[in-house]
Amino acid sequence: FPSHDNVDFFLRYETINQMFSTIHTQHPEIPGMGYGFFRMQYKGLDIFWHGGNTYFFNSAFVLVPEHNTGFFFSSNTGETGMLFPDVFLMLLDYLFKLEEALIQNNRRPNGLDLYTGRYIFSRRNESGFSRIFNLFMSVPVTAVPQGLMIALPGSEPELYRQDNEPGIFTSGDNTLIFEKDSKGRVKRGFISQFPAVELHVMHWRESIGFNVLLLALIFIIIAKCIISPFKLYFKKTKRI
């Protein structure tokens, strides 16, 4: 990152400032997207990052302009794809001795059942065999006395406490926001860790239980179609 005016850099100051500006956000309370980077805030720091994943290979690139610091992570195991944010946040805590920001929360949780259920990311594959992986990428939201428990794919459940504003929940520097329709039902959600996507309420047809039941019925029908001709053949053989 540029720090001296008398040094020639690969990028101009104007270009760098433009790269780190917000060009899109799903909600005013969500950090949003820069030019090719997810934006997030952590203990007072502005962080810019982006991941790249294929099956069983994951990577992430992280920039922290305030400290002129960057990280690159790469892994060839399939279980680490959603864990990179936790890893680089731990590194930031270690390197810069960051302290947890004090969060004022005076609102007592009430009516949290409205937000519970399973949600699915708006960015997903809806064609081909890989569509089956959508079943395992849902986000369960459950109510507890302290707030909402959110389990993102590949991560441990995390407690989000209700903010002073209705429909807004926070966990440290992470923010979860729900929007309602005209009838007061939850329509969609936004989560600061993934500013480029929305959380949609999962339809019952998309649930694991329904799809397992559907596969079981299909298997029974196919098995019956295969077995029935043999049963009919052996019955005719016995009559002869």
- pLDDT digits over 33-45, tens only? 888 788 887 877 8
Q: Is the pLDDT of residue 70 over 80?
A: yes
pLDDT, residue 79, reads: 57
Q: What pLDDT digit, counting tens, does each position of 14-27 carry?
A: 777 777 788 877 77
Is the pTM higher than 0.85? The answer reads no
Instruction: Give yes or no for a contact between 61 and 49, defined as CB atoms under 8 angstroms apart.
Output: yes
CA distance 200 to 139: 10
pLDDT, residue 105, reads: 46
Weakest mean pLDDT among 128-142, 170-184, 185-199, 222-236: 128-142
